[in-house]
Amino acid sequence: MFSSKEVFKEEFIEKLESMQGKTVEEATNIDKYQALGHMIREYSNKNWMATNTCYFEKHEKQVYYFSMEFLLGKLMESNLMNLGVRGVCEEGLHELGIRLDDIEAQEPDAGLGNGGLGRLAACFLDSLASLHLPGHGCGIRYKYGLFEQKIVDGYQVELPEYWLKEGNIWEIRRSNLAVEVRFGGEVRMEEQNGRWYFLHEKYESVLAVPYDVPVIGYKNKTVNTLRLWSAESNIRDFDFQTLNKRDYHKILEYKRSVESISELLYPDDSNHEGKILRLKQQYFFVSAGLQSIIRSYRKLEDTLVDFHRKVAIHINDTHPALAIPELMRILMDEEGMDWDEAWKITVQTISYTNHTTLSEALERWPVDIFKPLLPRIYMIVDEINERFCRELWEKYPGDWERIHKMAILADGQVKMAHLAIAGSHSVNGVAEVHTEILKAREMKEFYELSPDKFNNKTNGITHRRWLLNTNPRLAGLITETIGDRWIQHPAELLHLRKAANDNSFQERTAQIKQQNKENLARMIKDKSGLLVDTQSIFDVQVKRLHAYKRQILNVLHIMDLYNRLRANPNLDTVPRTFIFGAKAAPGYHLAKSVIKLINTVAAKVNRDKTIQGKLKIVFLENYRVSLAEKIIPAADISEQISAASKEASGTGNMKFMMNGAITLGTLDGANVEIHREVGDNNIFIFGLTVEEALSCYAGGGYRAKDIYNRDLRIKTVLDQLVNGFFSDDGVQFNDIYYSLLTNNDEFFVLKDFSSYARAHQMVDDAYRNKKRWYEMSIINIAHSGKFSSDRTVSEYAEHIWNIHPVTIS
C-alpha cells in the first residue's frame, strides 16, 4: 500500500470510505488520522507476525523490559519514518490536498510516564527493534496518562489526560490472552506426600487484558511488542454466594474498584508514599506479564529449568521488583520446584536498574499494607529475607548493624531496592558518576557483598526520534555531509568533527538553528501572544520541576540579570530569551510555587520597556514529549544545572547536545561524560563537583545565611521573593525563601549562584563570536553519538541480557 504514491492515494481513499464512510472532502483531520494510522498498522502487521514466528521458531533468548512507565509520545511520524514510507505518504497526501503535518497533529501524546525514566523505556524499545534485538516492553495501559497542565494566573492547574478519547490506533486488544491476577485472601498450607502446598483462597480475582502495540524497527523487518495490561472485572468468577444476588450495586462497586487499578498513572515527585493502589498496580502488571511470558515459553518447553537461558527480565527501577517473588511463586507453587532451584533461576533471569540516590525516592512498603494485599507474595519475601540475612550472618557474624541495614524486611517495611538487589544478577546505575556513588555510598554494603553484580550503563536517547525526526533539516545536512550511515551507526556522527571548522558548514548549521528558532518563536506567539527576538540566545530549561533540578537557581539568576539591566539599561548583554517548561507533581507545593514565581517574574520583565527587549521569559505550559520535540531543536543553551550528586543521569541533556545546543551545567550525572566527550572548550561548567557536594553534606552542609549576608546581589533577589517587588497580585514566595534560608538550602542554590552567574557571562561572551559558537555546536553534535540509546541497549544486550540480533526472514 506504500509502494508508490499512486497506490497509496487509492488505498487511502478506500480506507476513508470503508472506515469512516466519507470522501476525502468530507473527512475531518481525525478521520484522516485514523485512516492513515490503520493503514500503517495493517502494513506492519505482516512483519509483526513474521517477527513473532521467527522468535518462536528459532527459540532465541528474549528480553522483557518491565516498566511502570512508557513515555511514548506520538508514534505516527516515527512509525512512518522507520517503515521508510514517510516520503511516499507525504507526497500522496499532498496531491490529495492534505498536509501530513496536519494529520500528525491529531495524534494525542501517549503520556504513560512522568519524565526521564519513562522516556528511557520508550527510547530503549526503539533501539531494541532497530538493532534487530528480540526485546519487548511490559507495562500498564493507563486510562489517564500524566495530567494535562494549564497555567491559570501563573499557577499550575491539573486536568485529567484522557488520551484514549478517540481510541488508540496503535493497539490491539487481545482478550483471548487475558490472565487472572489475585489479590487479598488467605493462604492455606497443606501437606501431601511429604510436600507442602500453598493454597490461595478467598482472593479477589482481577482480569488482566493485554493490549499489544507494535514496536517497529528502523528500516528492518523487526516488529517487537509493547504489551500494556488493562484491569477488568472478572464477573464470571465473581463470588455470588457471598453477597445478595440482587445487590447489583456491589457488583458495580467491585467492577469500579478493579478498573481503578489501571486507571491512572501516579504523578511522581520522587517522594514515594505507600499508596495501596500503586502497590496493586505493581503486582498487577508484573504478575500478568510473567504469566504471559511463561505461557508462551511453555509452548516450547516442558519444564522451566532452563527458563533463564531463554528469558531475561529487566526491571526499570524497583517498581516492578515484585517480579522476583512472583517468579518464585510460579516456579514453586505452580511448577513444583524447590526453593534453591527456583531461586537460582529467578536471580539469573532478573536484572535491575537503579535510577536515583534520593533517599526519599526509595520505595518502601509498609508490611501492614503489603501482607494483606499479597499474602503469598509476602510469605515468599519473608523467606527471601530470612535466607538473605542468614547468608549475611555467616559472612559478617555479629555485625547486627550491617545486617539490619541490608535486610529486605525491617522496621515494618518491605525495602524494594534491597529485594531488587538480592533477587537479581545485575544492578546498574545510569551514568558513571551515579554508579560510583551507588557503590561508594547508597549501596556500599551490597557492593561489598557482591561487587560483581554492579555495573554502569550510561543512559541514551534514540537519535532517530530526537534528531532524524524532530530536526529534519539538521539531519538532512548531516546526511549530505557524511552520508546516512549515522542513522544506524550513530558513532559515525563523529565524522562531523572535521566539518566543525568549515565556514560553509557552520553557516548552514547556523541557518538551520535560525529557522528552528523562528518556528519556535511562531509557536510561542500563537500560544501566548508573546513576541520573542529570534536573534536572542534561546536559553532553555525543560524537565520535571524538582528542587534538586534547581529551576530556582535559573530564576534567581534571571532576577539578578533584570536588576542589573534596570540599574543600567545600556548594560552590554546579548539579548536572552529564557524558556521554561515543567510539570510539578500536584502535591509538591514548593515546586508549584516555583512555577508561579517564573510566571510572576515573566509578567513583570516582559512588560518592562526600559530594558530594551534584552530579556524575555517564556513558560510553555504542558511540557511533554511532543512539546520537547518542538523546543529542543531551537535551543542555543541547554540548562542542566542539578545540584551535584542528585541527577542520576539526565537524558534531556543528551537531546539538546544532539541538536547543537551548548550545555550550561554542573558536573553531575551524564553531564560529566558529555564534558569528557566535548572537552572544556565546548561546554559551560560551573558549581560544586560531586565530590565537593558530598563532602559538604558529610560535614553537615553549609551556612546559607552567610552567603546571603555577604553577597548583595543574592540578598537583593532573595528579598525580592518576599517584598512584593515582582508581584502585582500581592503573592509572596515565603516557602521558597524559607527553603533557601531557614531550611538552609539543601541543594546549594546560594553556594553555586556566583559560579553560575559567571558561567552565564561566559555564554554571553561566547555567543558574540558566531564562528566559534557554531564550531562548539557542531562539536557537540559530532560527539552526541555516544549518547544514542543504540549504544546503551547494545551494552545491556551484551553484558546483562546476553541476547543476540535476530534477522527476520
Ligand X SMILES: *Cc1c(COP(=O)(O)O)cnc(C)c1O
Measured CA to CA, the distance from residue 367 to residue 379 in angstroms comes to 11
Active site residue 804: no
The phi and psi torsions of 227 (rounded to 5 degrees) equal -105, 115
Per rule CB under 6 A, is residue 74 in the interface with ligand X? Answer: no
Active site residue 544: yes
Per rule CB under 6 A, is residue 115 in the interface with ligand X? Answer: yes
**Helices and strands in the chain, H and E counts:** 32, 25
Sign of CA dihedral 764, 770, 772, 775: positive
Amino acid at 326: E
Active site residue 355: yes
CA nearest to 136, candidates 51, 238, 232:
51
Per rule CB under 6 A, is residue 646 in the interface with ligand X? Answer: no
Cell of 760: 552565564
Stretch that binds ligand X, among 98-106, 240-248, 620-628, 671-679 (CB under 6 A): 620-628
Per rule CB under 6 A, is residue 782 in the interface with ligand X? Answer: no
Per rule CB under 6 A, is residue 543 in the interface with ligand X? Answer: yes
Per rule CB under 6 A, is residue 652 in the interface with ligand X? Answer: yes
Per rule CB under 6 A, is residue 628 in the interface with ligand X? Answer: yes
- Which residue in the set 119, 182, 439, 786 belongs to the binding site for ligand X (CB under 6 A)? 119
Active site residue 46: no
Stretch that binds ligand X, among 243-251, 352-360, 601-609, 621-629 (CB under 6 A): 621-629
Q: Toward ligand X, which CB reaches closer, 415 or 549?
A: 549
DSSP-assigned letters across all residues of 377-426: HHHHHHHHHHHHHHHHHHHSTT-HHHHHHH-SEETTEEEHHHHHHHT-SE
Catalytic residue among 543, 546, 576, 596: 543
Stretch that binds ligand X, among 188-196, 507-515, 624-632, 708-716 (CB under 6 A): 624-632
Q: Toward ligand X, which CB reaches closer, 137 or 650?
A: 650
Stretch that binds ligand X, among 137-145, 602-610, 645-653, 799-807 (CB under 6 A): 645-653
Catalytic residue among 182, 544, 557, 624: 544
Catalytic residue among 651, 663, 666, 792: 651
Per rule CB under 6 A, is residue 214 in the interface with ligand X? Answer: no
- Which residue in the set 68, 69, 82, 116 belongs to the binding site for ligand X (CB under 6 A)? 116
Cβ 613 vs Cβ 533: under 8 Å: yes
Cβ 55 vs Cβ 134: under 8 Å: yes
DSSP-assigned letters across all residues of 463-476: HIIIIIIT-HHHHH
Q: Least Å distance between CB 683 and ligand X? A: 16
Active site residue 655: yes
Cβ 491 vs Cβ 658: under 8 Å: no
Q: Helix H segments across 468-588?
A: 472-482, 503-528, 551-567
Stretch that binds ligand X, among 113-121, 218-226, 520-528, 790-798 (CB under 6 A): 113-121
Per rule CB under 6 A, is residue 624 in the interface with ligand X? Answer: yes
3-state secondary structure of 298: helix
Cell of 595: 512555577
- Which residue in the set 292, 651, 671, 792 belongs to the binding site for ligand X (CB under 6 A)? 651
- List strands edge to edge, sheet with 637-640: 615-619, 576-581, 537-542, 637-640, 662-665, 684-685
Q: Toward ligand X, which CB reaches closer, 32 or 543?
A: 543
Measured CA to CA, the distance from residue 614 to residue 539 in angstroms comes to 13
- The percent of the chain in helix, strand and coil, each rounded to the nearest 5, is 55, 15, 30
- Which residue in the set 37, 650, 687, 785 belongs to the binding site for ligand X (CB under 6 A)? 650
CB atoms within 10 A of CB 45: 13
Residues paired with 13 in a beta bridge: none
- Which residue in the set 169, 350, 625, 678 belongs to the binding site for ligand X (CB under 6 A)? 625
Cβ 443 vs Cβ 421: under 8 Å: yes
Q: Closest residue (Cβ) to ligand X?
A: 652
Q: Toward ligand X, which CB reaches closer, 74 or 543?
A: 543
Per rule CB under 6 A, is residue 145 in the interface with ligand X? Answer: no
Active site residue 651: yes
Q: Toward ligand X, which CB reaches closer, 649 or 739?
A: 649
# binding residues, ligand X (CB under 6 A): 12
Catalytic residue IDs:
355, 543-544, 549, 651, 655
Binding residues for ligand X (CB under 6 A): 115-116, 119, 543-544, 624-625, 628, 650-652, 655
